[in-house]
Amino acid sequence: MNLLSRILPPSNIVLDIAVTSKKRAFEQASLLFENHHGISRTAIFQSLIARERLGSTALGHEVAVPHGRIKDLKDPIGAFMRLAEPIRFDASDGRSARLLFFLLVPEHATQIHLDLLAEIARQMSDSTLRHELEIESDPVVIHQLLTTSVGNDSHAEHP
């Protein structure tokens, strides 16, 4: 079990969606959160865009973690989206992004927000896991990879 297991329901895994830009990806994620969780798509979209204006949320290796704070949200919620084709994401390594983790947190969340971002970054530093996420066709298996993976936790420093 990991932090993602608490915030990433299987219904929030979307594979091989065709979008042509970061804006279109944000629109699709906003619709998903609105349809599955009743959160205003406009609020989500505006939050994601506002955060992205501060600097790219791309991690490199075709991975990005767009995230935003949502007023009146009680608990963090996440989604994973694999794009049919990579899109430009202004990554520091100059690459596009294809594996997108969307993270919405309460307006005043602090440590949990940072812990979730750190966990995703730690997982995505594992090239084997990234490869599995790129080729796996079953959303249930993708969910299991993301929420039960303990192998990459062994690389983390523990106090």
**Strands annotated E in the chain:** 13-17, 58-60, 63-64, 67-70, 77-88, 96-106
Q: Which residues pair with 86 in a beta bridge?
A: none
Q: How far is residue 140 CA from its own chain's centroid?
A: 16
Q: Which two tokens stand for residue 45?
A: 């979209």
pTM (2 decimals)?
A: 0.89
Report d(CA 110, CA 133) in Å as an integer.
Answer: 28
> For residue 52, which of 36, 62, 67, 70 has the smallest C-alpha distance?
67
Q: From CA 2, how far away is CA 146, in angstroms rounded?
A: 9
Q: Which residues pair with 15 in a beta bridge?
A: 82
The average pLDDT across 54-69 equals 91
Is 87 within 8 Å of 19 (Cβ atoms)? yes
- Residue 91 has a pLDDT of 67
Q: How would you classify residue 2: left for phi > 0, otherwise alpha for psi between -120 and 50, otherwise beta?
A: beta
Encoded tokens for 61:
């290796």
Length of the chain: 159
| pLDDT, greater one: 89 or 95 | 89
Give the least confident one: 32-41, 60-69, 86-95, 107-116. 86-95
Q: What mean pLDDT is predicted for residues 16-35? A: 96
Single-letter code of the amino acid located at 144 = Q
Residues annotated as part of the active site: 67
Average pLDDT over residues 121-131: 93
* Between 5 and 93, residue with greater pLDDT: 5
